[in-house]
Amino acid sequence: MICVLSKIPIDLSKVRKEDIDTEIMRAGVIAELDAINLYEQMAALAGDENLRKVLLAIAKEEKEHVGEFQTLLLRADKEQVKEMEEGKKEVEEMTGVS
pTM: 0.84
Give residue 5's pLDDT.
59
Give residue 60's pLDDT.
98
Instruction: Identify whether the C-beta of residue 31 lies closer than 8 Å to the C-beta of residue 4.
Output: yes
Give residue 12's pLDDT.
82
Give residue 3's pLDDT.
56
Average confidence (pLDDT) per 10 residues, the chain, 98 residues: 64 89 93 94 97 98 98 96 96 94
Give residue 4's pLDDT.
54
Nearest to 53 by CA among 62, 42, 64: 42
Give residue 86's pLDDT.
97
Burial class (CB in 10 A: 0-12, 13-18, 19+), 73: buried
